[in-house]
Chains A and B, each alone.
Chain A
């Protein structure tokens, strides 16, 4: 796998970075939005709770001020001479009697603008402070005692009205306190530290009262679209207006108190949050870009290195593979060759052994035939000689022909015997040991006799073997032939070969014993090796004993051992007794 070019990888890198950045931006935006909303919600809930508190404070202030000044009014009425002065509409007496009280009251509250006395018809009798309205226009319409805001003569004021009654519970006059509405603003400011404005919209131009610390001023704010909780920018600050509807005298006097909570702080927090978010975002992006770029570079570098290494290893691997393949091929070829050679060797060996045993067989046939051939020739000589002498009668000829026929038949049988030996017995079968013994005797008799060797068959136990009949016969023939060859080679005068079968300790044993003096090889087992021959080059191929061992041990589950006794070699073929 090759990175086709770096540009390709760079493009992948850029793409990945961009993708990651986009993801980060989106995440940041979501984060920011959540945070902004959180802050906003906090602000809003804060504002709402502020609004509630403002409302409560206003109501409480209103309640308190009402009780306070109405009580003061009654207190004044109940003072000495006041009620009588009202009855007499004696404004001088009222003024004189109430002056000390005004002095005390005006010190209590700087927003108390006027302390006024009206007769029972609402006509101004006397007053302290600012000059109030000459006439209390609403006095007949409201329930007593009364408090509320009243707009009159271009002024918007809070009034408390306490009525004075005579002994017959008839109203004789009114004590009225007039209070600047900014009192409320001050109270709210004192308690809650919130700037408030009172907005009265029923005058020709809307009136707005605000509280200044030193000089309460009324500022007219051009915007008249204060609606609750909508941010308003004023003097570079941001406010949230709370609106409370105040109840005035009559419909016309309804008004709004607008509190403006300075939320610049909140705004700043939000802005700061946004800024922070943006900074964090940018930093994040930068760091990400750097890290990713660097990381990508490193990764790409490493990848490149790894790739190079991989390529290297790959090529090495390929080389090794090729080499390996080659070597495996060579090994296989070598092995096959060896196998072939081994097979060939084995084949040659088998072939040689076949040839050898064929040769042996032919030798045996020659021996077997020598006698009948000689006899045939003797018959021919006999007939010829008698014919020469004119003594060959018909009867003699007849007998001689019969004799010759017999010999020919015998020869034919011999051939059949050998041919059968070579062509039958391809399957394992249960075989009495007397069968191969008989065959060996039949096939070897002439050869042994011609060499003056006594052959002795001794079946002590006629056991049964499960073997390839031919192979067992061939093995025995090999051993007997071998013994015969040694006997002839060593010119042992009275050669003796015995073939013996017996059972011992659960084993069936076939023994071939000769009196040729024994095997001289050391170690003795070497005679079973292929191409190992102690005989003269002319007589032995060295295969007989090897093939015998193969036949016995490989094909017929037997075992062959050899030892020498005082007379000669003793070969033992041992079969385990299955019973």
Chain B
């Protein structure tokens, strides 16, 4: 695969909402090839519920679903999360849907039936969006992070990050210069399981070893902050 931007997704969690069982199965399997975690739900209601409970990096929603359609679900999600990249899958190509999609800042609108290329392109767009289009992210003290290969370069040295490490680093990068609480980190990395502070500290400690100590600063009693 080499420098496939889709590898950016390798440490990401995707929520996939599709009411048709067969499609859901096949596409979930495909998504699992790219994402670290794929969670698939049957309708919009389940999707919003899932969003309330767990943290996701990417959403992929069908529009036509019972109980709560995809667009309505996204509208609810956007109230809390303005950034998360979303792919819409729809049999409809009507303008009104497209306008709504535009309002909801959809990353890609895929019209069914789509093919491999379409899906890959959509995923690439989402992947690049996740890294803000930077395939080389400079960190402090000459450290450079490659989100595709999930490696950190420093003076001819290349260090491979583990899944949790890269996941955490990218989470920090997208929220650079913002303080992030222990709970947030715990929720993001461990989902609904409530992790020990020690577990978080241990991951931070391992990450600091690879990206230099200057990058992540402690904010006592609250959490951490990544300076860029």
Q: Which residues of A come within 8 Å of B, CB atoms?
A: 370-371, 373-382, 384-386, 389, 391, 400, 403, 407, 449-450, 452
The answer to whether B64 and A452 have CB atoms under 8 Å apart is yes
Q: Among residues 106 to 140 in chain B, which have CB atoms less than 8 Å away from a CB atom of chain A?
A: 112-116, 119
Main secondary structure of the interface of A (DSSP, over half): helix
A375–B26 CB distance below 8 A: yes
The 4 A-B residue pairs whose C-beta atoms are closest, nearest first, are: A377-B113, A378-B26, A382-B26, A374-B112
| CB of B21 to closest CB in A, whole Å | 9
Do residues A381 and B119 form an inter-chain contact, with CB atoms below 8 A? yes
User: Is B30 a contact of A374 with CB atoms below 8 Å?
Assistant: no
**How far is A385 from B118 in the complex, measured between Cα atoms in Å?**
12
8 A-B residue pairs with Cβ-Cβ distance under 8 Å, sorted by A, are: A370-B91, A370-B112, A371-B23, A373-B113, A377-B115, A378-B30, A400-B26, A450-B92
Among A376, A384, A386, A391, which residue has its beta carbon within 8 angstroms of that of B113? A376
Q: B: which residues have CB within 8 A of A?
A: 20, 22-23, 26-27, 29-30, 33, 64, 66, 69, 91-92, 112-116, 119
Report Cα–Cα, A378/B33, bound state, in Å.
Answer: 14
In the bound assembly, the distance between CA atoms of A407 and B26 in angstroms comes to 13
Residues from chain B with Cβ under 8 Å of A376 in the complex: 113
Give the chain B neighbours of A378 by CB distance below 8 A: 22-23, 26-27, 30, 113
A414 to B26, CA, bound (A): 22
Q: Most chain-B Cβ atoms within 10 A of its Cβ — which of A370, A374, A376?
A: A374
Whether B22 contacts A389 by the Cβ 8 Å rule is no
- Docked-complex contact A384 and B64, CB < 8 angstroms: no
Is the beta-carbon distance between A450 and B22 smaller than 8 angstroms?
Answer: no
B64 engages A381 (CB within 8 Å):
no
Q: B33 near A389 (CB under 8 angstroms)?
A: yes
* Further 18 A-B residue pairs, CB within 8 A, beyond A375-B20, A378-B113, A384-B116: A370-B113, A373-B113, A375-B23, A375-B26, A378-B22, A378-B30, A381-B26, A381-B114, A381-B119, A382-B27, A382-B30, A385-B33, A385-B116, A386-B33, A400-B26, A403-B22, A407-B22, A449-B66
Residues from chain B with Cβ under 8 Å of A371 in the complex: 20, 23
Kindly report which residue of chain B lies nearest to residue A377, judged by CB atoms. Answer: B113
Residues from chain B with a CB closer than 8 A to the CB of A391 are 33
User: Is B23 in contact with A374, judged by CB distance below 8 angstroms?
Assistant: yes
A389 to B34, CA, bound (A): 10
A377 touching B112 in the complex, CB below 8 Å, given contacts A370-B91, A371-B20, A450-B91: yes
Contact at B27–A381, with CB atoms within 8 Å? yes
Q: How far is the CA of A378 from the CA of B69 in the complex (A)?
A: 20
Residues in A whose Cβ lies below 8 Å from that of B26: 375, 378-379, 381-382, 400, 403
Q: How many angstroms from the CA of A403 to the CA of B22 in the assembled complex?
A: 8
Q: Which of B20, B66, B69, B116 contacts A380 (CB 8 A)?
A: B116
The answer for the CA separation of A381 and B114 in the assembled complex, in Å, is 9
The residue among A382, A389, A391 with the most chain B CB atoms within 10 A of its own CB is A382
Smallest beta-carbon distance B126→chain A, Å: 16
Contacts of B23 in A (CB 8 A): 371, 374-375, 378
Bound-state CA distance A460–B104 (Å) is: 45
B52 CB to nearest chain A CB (Å): 23
Please give, as numbers and ranges, the residues of chain B lying within 8 Å of A380 by CB-CB distance. 115-116
